[in-house]
Amino acid sequence: MSSTQLGEMLKQAQTAQLSHPVPVLRAREIDRWASSKDYESLVQNRSVYYDAETTKKGGWRNW
């Protein structure tokens, strides 16, 4: 839609009054970020470990 000037104007008109962009636009940006080298390096450089003293209650582990 935003490949033309008219499409860009329509998108701006639809999202101008919103506190958050349309969910489709948000999803697109998340997908772009998840496909980026920045995200890849962040994931590769982060070591994840679990605390052995975490209680079993609630089903979540202590990250």
In tens, the pLDDT along 15-33 reads: 788 777 677 788 888 999 9
Residue 27: phi and psi, rounded to 5, are -65, -40
Give the count of domains, the chain: 1
Give the domain range for residue 31: 20-45
In a domain, 52, yes or no: no
What pLDDT, on a 0 to 100 scale, did the predictor assign at position 11? Answer: 82
In a domain, 5, yes or no: no
In order of 38, 47, 63, the CA distances from 56 in angstroms are 34, 22, 13
In a domain, 29, yes or no: yes
Measured between alpha carbons, how far is 57 from 46 in angstroms, rounded to an integer?
Answer: 26
In a domain, 3, yes or no: no
What pLDDT, on a 0 to 100 scale, did the predictor assign at position 32? Answer: 93
In a domain, 14, yes or no: no
Helix (H) or strand (E) holding 30: helix 23-34
Average per-residue pLDDT for the chain: 77
In a domain, 1, yes or no: no
